[in-house]
Amino acid sequence: MADAMKIRATAQGDSADIKVLMNHVMETGLRKDAKTGQLIPAHFIQNVSASVNGKEVLDAQWGGAISKNPYLGFKVKGAKAGDKVVVNWEDNKGEKNTVEATVS
Amino acid sequence: MNSFRRTFLKGTGAAGTVAIAIAAGLLKPTQVLAAEWNKDAFGAKSVSDALKSMGASAPVDSKDISIKAPDIAENGAVVPVEITSKIAGTTSIAIMAEKNANPLVANFNLSNGAEGYVSTRIKMGQTSLVRAVVKAGGKTYTAAKEVKVTIGGCGG
């Protein structure tokens, strides 16, 4: 599950625009397998956090209703070119992934 | 499918309970760490139960929140939603799809310069209001926009 995440952080005026793409099935636990009729177990990202230069800027909780291979965009005032952005996620099975980028 | 969901919602709507633990989280929303996933809020079957579990009671309608989402989403599995809050001191933004089995989709806590803006893609089971719930300065604000869904994205 440690597929690479994609991230882009660009400075726009006095803030940074950060866009992240994660690889995840985002299974809600409400869907049934078409063949067996069994519920497909829930498997989705529950927590996403982001920091700029080590300072937390975003701490999100997600449910299963975020689309598969989630996209997240956010903006941070005061972040400038050269700042280091780190984004982490953790899912309901304890799997984790992290990605880093430098604002450009 | 729809009629099932409706009866399902009715049957369980009254059963929602508010966890006392949330009160602790309420005091400092940004301090709620990653590990404490708000199970009650995400498991809530109705918007009002989800709001209660988030400690966001009686939200006030606000024109300073804008929701950018398609009027008609052909594929409910991927509905782009962009929320901008112009309310000063916005500390969190939650997204709800009102008629989903579990309305609460996500809750973003913002700090240290993060602007009142989040953009993501959500799943919607059927045509419904997409609601943004914003906390700022200890108050709760909300806005909603209807998105028509032609093919639901939650069923199987």
Is the pLDDT at A85 greater than 70? The verdict is yes
Q: Is residue A1 part of a domain?
A: no
Q: What domain range is A65 assigned to?
A: 6-103
Q: Which of B81, B120, B126, B131 to mutate to test the interface with A (most CBs of A within 10 A)?
A: B120
Q: Is residue A38 part of a domain?
A: yes
Q: Is residue A17 part of a domain?
A: yes
- Pick the residue from chain A with its C-alpha nearest to B30: A59
- Per-residue pLDDT band at B90 (split at 50, 70, 90): very high
The pairing of beta strand B139-151 with beta strand B72-75: parallel
How confident is the model at residue B7, as a pLDDT?
52
Report helix, strand or coil for B53: helix
Per-residue burial over B15-31, b = 16 or more CB atoms within 10 Å of its CB, e = otherwise: ebebeeebeebeeebee
Lowest mean pLDDT among A2-6, B47-51, B78-82, B117-121: A2-6
Region B82-89 average pLDDT: 96
Is the pLDDT at B86 greater than 70? The verdict is yes
Is the pLDDT at B31 greater than 70? The verdict is no
Q: Are A77 and B114 a contacting pair at CB < 8 A?
A: yes
- Pick the residue from chain A with its C-alpha nearest to B93: A60
Label residue A54 exposed, middle or buried (CB < 10 Å: 0-12, 13-18, 19+).
Answer: exposed
Region B125-131 average pLDDT: 95
All CATH 2.60.40.2470 domain ranges of chain B, comma separated, are: 36-151
Looking up residue A26, the CATH number of its domain turns out to be 2.60.40.10
How confident is the model at residue B14, as a pLDDT?
36
How confident is the model at residue B6, as a pLDDT?
54
How confident is the model at residue B57, as a pLDDT?
75
**Higher-confidence residue: A30 or A1?**
A30
- Give B59 to chain A, closest Cα distance, Å: 20
Region B108-118 average pLDDT: 96
pLDDT in tens, A2-25: 567 999 999 999 999 999 999 999
**Distance in angstroms (rounded) separating the CA atoms of residues A25 and B102:** 18
- Give B134 to chain A, closest Cα distance, Å: 13
Lowest mean pLDDT among B101-105, B135-139, B149-153: B149-153
Homologous superfamily of B36-151: SoxY domain (2.60.40.2470)
Q: Are A33 and B156 a contacting pair at CB < 8 A?
A: yes
Give the total number of structural domains in chain A: 1
- Give B122 to chain A, closest Cα distance, Å: 4
A71: nearest CB among B97, B108, B120: B120
Q: To the nearest whole percent, how much of chain B has pLDDT over 70?
A: 74
> Are B97 and B122 within 8 A, CB to CB?
yes
- Per-residue pLDDT band at B32 (split at 50, 70, 90): very low
Residues 5-64 of B with CB under 8 A from A: 30, 32-35, 37-38, 41-42
pLDDT in tens, A29-76: 988 888 898 999 999 999 999 999 999 999 999 999 999 999 999 999
**Distance in angstroms (rounded) separating the CA atoms of residues A97 and A7:** 13
How confident is the model at residue B15, as a pLDDT?
36
pTM of the model: 0.83
How confident is the model at residue A92, as a pLDDT?
95
Show which residues on chain A lie within 8 Å of chain B, measured between beta carbons. 15, 19, 26, 28, 30-34, 40, 46-47, 49, 52, 55-68, 70-79, 88, 90, 92
Query: Does the ipTM exceed 0.90?
Result: yes
CA B72, B77, B80, B81 dihedral sign is positive
